[in-house]
Amino acid sequence: MRVNHSRRIAAPARSIVMPWSVPNTRPRPGTAEPRFPLLARLGRADRWAFDRVAAARLPGLEYVLPRLSRFADHGVLWFTTAGVLGLTGRHRLRRAALRGSIAIAVASPAVNLLGKQAFRRKRPVVDLVPPIRIRWKLPTSHAFPSGHSASAAAFATGVALEAPGRVAAPVAATAAAVAFARVYTGAHYPGDVLAGLGIGALAACGTRLVWPARPPVARVSVTMAADGLVKPDGEGLVAVVNPVSGGSGGATAAILPGRPDLAVELIERELPAAEIVRLAPDEDADKALAEAAERACVLAVVGGDGTVNAGARAALEHDVPLLVVPGGTFDHFARALGLESPADAVAAYRSGRLGRVDVSYVAPADGNRDDADEQVFLNTASFGAYTELVDRRERLEKRIGKWPALAVAAVRTLRRSEPLDLVLDGRRRRVWLGFVGNCGYGARGATPTWRDRLDDGRLDIRMIATGRRVPRVRAVAAVLAGHLPLIPGYRSWQATGLEVVAPSGGLRLARDGEVSSLPRAVRFGKHTGGLRVFVPGGQG
């Protein structure tokens, strides 16, 4: 018997198949046919492919691939990548990082706790693998399927479902390199790797069942050229800035520049002829925006959804196009347009492409109103528990910050809120939470966040209407998971209008995150294609 003095994994002896030879697939005379001929042939092909890779010489990769494989142990490579994506501040990349991490959390147990224990396949014999590739101790767990490959495919597929191609492509290439490295270093047969890749990809795609992937941009089909409105130096553009948007008015404002400040620096550098108007803390934003729109060829707003809402009202009144520059905490409308940064907004302005988007409104239902009575919203209007949540968040955010305040306010509201007695289109209901969206939303639940279109002419209406006390634990779980159909009384439909009457008094409404009080009877409606906005060059 030959004694092998190099470090190798013990395994039953088998004949060595040289890389230039093909194993004899016919059974020896006098031996019984294998019970599963197809599996036997696949196994021989798998071992032959492993030997070919083991005997291959790829200059330079002997040093790179083993280290890459080692870095992928326990998901370190992927969770590090997720952290980097999260630090970019771009919403799509954060979603990509989160989806990839969730996919790993699903795929890893499926492979390591179920797959490996079910098949118990032994690791390859590494006689043909050069020692330089086996620098670290090879794993002793079962081989099939490959856990590293499953994690790599899960993360790469999760990222591809959310991120743009320029980000997804290098992540996918790295995942493929990790999967190949598992064979190249002698840790797995190719079949183990292919099975792991399949499980990981399925796990990532399965996350869409509970958390649908959002489209990168809500479509705006009608586009036109902004002839004569766009100047290379920004002449005729008036940008109104809310300096306290996005939490910029806190204690860190004196140390670090806020998002609006960074946006203003970019506009001043790229569009030096543009006029910049900074809102003072106690200034009337509606008045300042109306004055800016009156003298502007293009009105730009730098701030969050509340500031954009006020800018949309001014742009509608003076019939000027609106340039949305994200600078808030959530920036739902800017992201729906595909504008995730001030640089995207500047590029959209220079592209000169305008699209018409819907504007929804709520107004008194007494029939004697005029346009001045309309309160518009670009994203959502909510009543019931959500207005209580906003009130609590605003009371807490100056002390503990916006995100912690939102979390605390959500828990307190879901525990203590009581249904409202309302009449919806003539039918009496006890409403715990009401949601009216500007255009159809694609996600489940009563508070979805993304849309497929911004010009469909519809209101997306979702209610939790119940005749009894809402079950609190179930409600919290359903809201956090996004599956509001789990709560009794959940209803959703689309319409062009909705009439709401509060018999006991006035109605409190949160429009694009801003709370206001309304008369006891109001009507929701639409201005289809009423607002001109700048859209990225790829839209349309």
Assign a CATH topology to domain 37-209.
Vanadium-containing Chloroperoxidase; domain 2 (1.10.606)
What tokens does 82 get?
A: 């997720």
Band of residue 3 on the pLDDT scale cut at 50, 70, 90: very low
Q: Helix and strand tally (H, E) in the chain?
A: 16, 16
Phi and psi (nearest 5°) for 132?
A: -60, -25
Question: Can you state the angle between helices 147-160 and 165-184, rounded to 10 degrees?
Answer: 170
Q: Are the C-beta atoms of 298 and 325 separated by less than 8 Å? A: no
**In the chain, where the domains are located:** 37-209, 230-351, 377-529
According to CATH, the superfamily of the domain at 230-351 is Probable inorganic polyphosphate/atp-NAD kinase; domain 1 (3.40.50.10330)
DSSP symbol at 114? I
Greater confidence, 395 or 254? 395
State residue 495's pLDDT score.
Answer: 93
Is 230-351 the same fold as 37-209?
no
**How far apart (Å, rounded) are the C-alpha atoms in residues 163 and 215?**
10
Band of residue 408 on the pLDDT scale cut at 50, 70, 90: confident
Domain 377-529 coded CATH 2.40.170.20: no
Question: 107 forms bridges with which residues in the sheet?
Answer: none
Q: Are the C-beta atoms of 537 and 346 separated by less than 8 Å? A: no
Q: Cis omega before residue 404 (within 30°)? A: no
Alpha helices (H) in 253-296, listed in sequence order:
259-270, 285-295
Greater confidence, 422 or 223? 422
DSSP symbol at 505? S
State residue 6's pLDDT score.
Answer: 41
Q: Are the C-beta atoms of 390 and 411 separated by less than 8 Å? A: no
CB neighbour list of residue 417: distance below 8 Å, 6 or more residues apart: 384, 385, 388, 432, 470
Does residue 5 carry a pLDDT above 60? no
| Span 159-211, pLDDT tens digits | 999 888 889 999 999 999 998 888 888 778 888 889 899 999 999 998 887 77
| Span 263-319, pLDDT tens digits | 889 999 999 999 999 998 888 888 999 999 999 999 999 988 889 999 999 999 999
Mean local confidence (pLDDT), 8-23: 38
Mean local confidence (pLDDT), 217-241: 84
Q: Please report, rounded to a whole number, the percentage of residues in the chain having pLDDT higher than 70.
A: 78
State residue 241's pLDDT score.
Answer: 92
State residue 517's pLDDT score.
Answer: 86
Does residue 152 carry a pLDDT above 60? yes
**How far apart (Å, rounded) are the C-alpha atoms in residues 205 and 286?**
45
Q: Are the C-beta atoms of 179 and 167 separated by less than 8 Å? A: no
Look over the chain and give the mean of its residue pLDDT values, rounded to a whole number: 79
Q: Are the C-beta atoms of 116 and 149 separated by less than 8 Å? A: no
Q: Are the C-beta atoms of 269 and 306 separated by less than 8 Å? A: no
Highest mean pLDDT among 56-60, 293-297, 380-384: 293-297
Mean local confidence (pLDDT), 523-529: 92
Q: Please report, rounded to a whole number, the percentage of residues in the chain having pLDDT higher than 90.
A: 29
**How far apart (Å, rounded) are the C-alpha atoms in residues 48 and 60?**
24
Question: pTM higher than 0.85, yes or no?
Answer: no
**How far apart (Å, rounded) are the C-alpha atoms in residues 188 and 91?**
37
State residue 366's pLDDT score.
Answer: 72
**How far apart (Å, rounded) are the C-alpha atoms in residues 331 and 246?**
9
